[in-house]
Amino acid sequence: MSLNPRRIQLMDTTLRDGEQTQGVAFTPTEKVSIAKALLQNLRVDRIEVASARVSEGEKEAVRNINQWAQQEGFGDRVEVLGFVDHTRSVDWIKSTGGQVINLLAKGSEKHCREQLGKTLEQHCADVLQTIGYAHEQGLKINIYLEDWSNGYKDSRDYVFGLIDRLKDAPLSHFMLPDTLGVMAPDEVFASFSDMCGRYPNLQFDFHPHNDYGLATANVMAAVRAGVSAVHCTINCLGERAGNASLAEVAVVLRDKMNMELAIDESHLVRISNMVENFSGKRIADNAPIVGADVFTQTAGIHADGDQKGGLYKTKLGPERFSRTRSYALGKMSGKASLKKNLEQLEVELSEEDQKKVLARIVALGDSKQTITTDDLPFIIADVLESKSYQHIKLLACSVNSGLDLQSTVSLRVEVNGDKHQATGAGNGGFDAFIDAIGTVLVKYDYTLPKLADFEIRIPKGGNTNALTECVITWDCGHELRKTRGVHVNQVFAAMLATIKLINIQLHEMANTNP
């Protein structure tokens, strides 16, 4: 085994193949933002940003990306999918300032015969004609062999005949896709070993899909067989079950295969969040690397092991991805889970008080309640009858809303023992509440942070009278904080979540400025 790690390129196709996800369409501005983050921050080797001739909006986005990329020295790393249409795709790409075309050829005899109605020789003549024109125009050319996985399985002679006719053309990468995600790792390894052994002087890319949930495993097999580049997307975006996850692939190649990659892992979560917001496609909380819960220990025995010697920590640590480890509070919590959260809050409790607080946490967990670290001060305050986190109390509140009318709120609050009344108006009851509470809090030199996310949930299968849980994520500048409120009325649940945040921050202000 070589002591020097092998270099593998990662090509991100979120902006092209990822946009083929059902319901996903990035605006030109969003495309530029994602492209910049991929190349400048995450440092992927190449990005595929669009398909040629799709729309004027697509052309505007590609033109803007290319203009920025050329200024920053990334021009030859921005690629566009083009078609075997002689001049049309090439001219479209040139008009956007592009430098690279990824030409889509037919990688299976069935596609060539039934979709195009052509023989291998006729198709190759058309491909070479487009390649010749692209080369004359100064473009770098890569080639996709569409549906190569089925093409290789059904007729290797066709695949070999296609490559034999194209191998001497000015092509940089031969990109072999598992277009329908039908391959398993042993099939990938056998077929790529054959391709790499038969054509040792060609650079092969692997473009996997995840229909069987095998995309990352298939990437490992392809890399073992000798491919030089792998195609991925952020958050597994892509048609049907999506493409290979860039986060998963990058970490697996580094940790499990000792491959050298260019990317900066510390930006994986940030760009995952950006793509999640722009695409509208939420990722699972337990998604590897980027999921909200993947660095949260739930079982008390795990927290205990970490407390006593990092027994449940691995190479896959949160700090590597600019994240932190957390310890969930619920019915499976133990004393160590509570201690870890108390350390985070810089709160000290006696052993007896810890037992009382833990009993309340377990009881809440048994009732299916979600408990966050931000809830802990209130549980502590309730259990110990402490007033330290009761800086503000909502004593009374009335909300009036009407169709096509502004909502109004009248409220009465107590802040540090002083009672205040206030009214507010806004676009809905919660907006009116924020207006009203703001007129009180300004007297205490406090301004609510902006909302980063706002979720309303009821239990699955719940009735119309079910409790409503409101979880608000607040952008507190240096960090994001979540608070939760529960009430039968969703507006009041949001108000309670807001009061929780105000209490936490007023308490911090009091400790900072005693």
pLDDT digits (tens, 9 = 90+) for 408-427: 999 999 999 999 999 999 99
Supply 311's token pair: 């027994």
pLDDT over 90 (residue 94): yes
Q: Is 60 exceeded by the pLDDT of residue 152?
A: yes
**What's the rounded mean pLDDT across residues 274-301?**
79
The overall longest dimension of the chain from CA atoms, in Å, is 87
Contact between 62 and 125 under an 8 Å Cβ cutoff? The reply is no
pLDDT of 304 over the 60 cut: no
Alpha-carbon 279 to chain mean position: 10
Rounded to an integer, the average pLDDT of 259-265 is 96
pLDDT exceeds 80 at position 200: yes
In this predicted structure, which of 82-96, 129-143, 158-172, 460-474 has the lowest mean pLDDT?
A: 460-474
Q: Confidence band (pLDDT; 50, 70, 90) for 342?
A: low
Q: What is the reported pLDDT for 302?
A: 44
Residues 428, 394: contact at Cβ < 8 Å? no
The mean-pLDDT minimum among 10-14, 144-148, 278-282, 469-473 falls in 469-473
| Coil, helix or strand at residue 279 | helix
Using alpha carbons, select from 85, 94, 86 the residue that is nearest to residue 59. Answer: 94
Is the per-residue pLDDT at 333 higher than 80? no
73-77, 366-370, 474-478: which is most confident: 73-77
For residue 317 the two structure tokens come to 């640590």
Report the pLDDT value the prediction gives residue 377, as an integer from 0 to 100: 64
386: pLDDT strictly greater than 60? no
List 109, 146, 248, 469, catalytic entry:
146
Question: What's the rounded mean pLDDT across residues 469-481?
Answer: 88
Q: Does the structure show a pLDDT above 80 at 264? A: yes
Q: Would you state the pLDDT for residue 61? A: 93
- CB within 8 Å of 190: residues ≥ 6 apart: none
Per the model's pLDDT, the better-predicted residue between 43 and 364 turns out to be 43
pLDDT band of residue 5 (cuts 50, 70, 90) is confident
**pTM exceeding the 0.85 threshold for the entire prediction:** no
pLDDT of residue 366: 59
The torsion angles phi and psi of 45, rounded to 5 degrees, stand at -75, -40
Give the integer Cα–Cα distance in Å for 162 and 176.
12
CA–CA separation, 402 vs 419, rounded Å?
29
Average pLDDT over residues 67-71: 96
Closest CA to 114 of 144, 147, 89, 85: 147
- Residue 511 has a pLDDT of 78
Report the pLDDT value the prediction gives residue 347, as an integer from 0 to 100: 66
Average pLDDT over residues 64-93: 97
Note the pLDDT of residue 319.
79
Which are the contacts of 298, defined by CB distance < 8 A and separation ≥ 6? Answer: 328, 330, 332
In the annotation, is 109 catalytic? no
What mean pLDDT, rounded, does the chain reach? 87
Domains of the chain with CATH codes: 9-279 (3.20.20.70), 296-383 (no CATH), 392-512 (3.30.160.270)
Query: Tens digit of pLDDT for each residue in 17-57?
Result: 999 999 999 988 899 999 999 999 999 999 999 999 988 88
- With cut-offs at 50, 70 and 90, classify the pLDDT of residue 303: very low
Beta bridge partners of 12: 47, 232
Quote the distance between the C-alpha of residue 373 and its chain's center.
Answer: 23
Could you tell me the pLDDT band of residue 300, with boundaries at 50, 70 and 90? very low
Respond yes or no: is residue 146 known to be catalytic: yes
pLDDT surpassing 70 at residue 459: no
The pLDDT > 70 percentage for the chain reads: 82
Rg (CA), the chain: 28
Would you report the helix, strand and coil content of the chain in percent, each value rounded to 5?
A: 45, 20, 35
The per-type count for the chain, helices as H runs and strands as E runs, is 17, 16
Task: Spell out the SS3 assignment of 361-426.
Answer: HHHHHHCCCCECHHHHHHHHHHHCCCCCCCCEEEEEEEEEEECCEEEEEEEEEEECCEEEEEEEEE
First vs last Cα of the chain: how many Å apart? 62
> Which residue's structure tokens are 């917001």?
277
Instruction: Name the token pair of 186.
Output: 């042993």
Residue ranges of alpha helices (H) inside 85-166 are 88-95, 109-110, 120-136, 148-154, 156-166
